[in-house]
Amino acid sequence: MEIFEANPIRKWGNFGTIDNYGLELLLNGVIVKNTDLDWNIGFNIAWNKNKVVRMTGKQAEVGGEAAFFDVGDISRGDGETGVSVMRLAEGQPIGNFYGFKYYGINSSGEWVFERHYDDGTVGYTSDPLNSDKMILGNAQPWAIFGFNTVVRYKQFDFTANFRGQIGGLIFNETRYFYENTRGVENALSSAFQGDAQLLTAWKTSGSLSASKRRFSDFYLENASFLKLNDLTIGYTPVLSESTRKYINNMRITLTGQNVFTLTGYSGHDPSTVSMAGLTPGFDRRTYYPLQRSVNLGLSFTF
């Protein structure tokens, strides 16, 4: 679709093409079914892939390269404000992180990154150039899945719903900003652990580049998780004849939501990090934590 304005010099158009494809599997089963016990389970899993087929703009095949746009700007970061952490390119999937490949931090508190040469050899540098940037991985998970089970034993019932994802990467912008003590009043405890503690050398090092923030795969983390989304335990007592004159049925329930999340991600709940749009897996510092709740219910039927 093309949109023409009154000013003939400017024209807006949408020419981009993205291919999406995938596979979804859904399984439901009855494990046990008799007078006293019922047990049902359900499982679903989805594999989804995409590829940018064509883009528009003056970037298209400049210098023989495919068209690209850099997206996902850093909100604030000691000289890297506005620097993009993702590259959207023809022939590539959405969600590719693009930046420096981390190698280490030297004793002066300077980042050391890999430098790949045209002959296939790999070197290392503490003074990286834009040409040293590369694809670091993709945010999109390999698969997303869900699992539910419903069990009834006599007057008791149990329902649980799980969901999760396997693979993918998340950019932890909170670590990027607060794991470096240069220019911040608050810092994460992880700023004084592991390699990150070497960044405090800016206080004593004579190097102007010591501890300078640089986006790299140092701040990318595995996005996999398993979450117990909700859990309900119920009890329906058998009422006496005298009680049933007034109440036909009674049910007691204990329900928990956002019960637990198993993950190796060091940020907040990875299930809240969006994997949609053009910048999936970008965990900005502007999140609101999920609430965990436990409710006790009592219901009657008259």
pLDDT in tens, 255-264: 999 999 999 9
pLDDT at 59 over 60: no
Q: Give the other-Cβ count within 10 Å of 199's Cβ.
A: 22
Predicted local distance difference test score (pLDDT) of residue 48:
94
| Average per-residue pLDDT for the chain | 88
132-179 confidence digits (pLDDT tens): 999 999 999 999 999 999 999 999 999 999 999 999 999 999 999 888
Most distant CA pair in the chain, distance: 89
pLDDT bucket at 108, cuts 50 / 70 / 90: confident
Any idea of the CA torsion for 150, 152, 155, 157, to the nearest 10 degrees? -20
Structure-token pair, residue 293: 């709740």
pLDDT at 77 over 60: no
Predicted local distance difference test score (pLDDT) of residue 111:
92
Instruction: Measure Cα distances from 265 to 110, 242, 283 in Å.
Output: 25, 56, 11
- Provide the residue ranges of all domains of the chain, joining segments of one domain with +: 18-301
* 150 contacts: CB under 8 Å, gap ≥ 6: 38, 39, 40, 41, 157, 158, 159
Q: Between 77 and 184, where is the model more confident?
A: 184
Q: Is 68 exposed, middle or buried, given 0-12, 13-18 or 19+ CB atoms closer than 10 A? A: buried
What is the rounded CA–CA span in Å between residue 160 and residue 232? Answer: 7
The backbone torsions φ and ψ at residue 48, rounded to the nearest 5 degrees and listed phi first, read -125, 135
- Percent of the chain with pLDDT strictly greater than 70: 90
pLDDT at 64 over 60: no
Q: Kindly report the pTM of this predicted structure.
A: 0.86
What is the rounded CA–CA span in Å between residue 18 and residue 91? Answer: 9
* 175 contacts: CB under 8 Å, gap ≥ 6: 188, 190, 219, 266, 267
Predicted local distance difference test score (pLDDT) of residue 233:
97
Q: Residue written as tokens 């024209």?
A: 11
pLDDT at 128 over 70: yes
What is the rounded CA–CA span in Å between residue 302 and residue 251? Answer: 12
Averaged pLDDT for residues 183-189:
80
pLDDT bucket at 1, cuts 50 / 70 / 90: very low
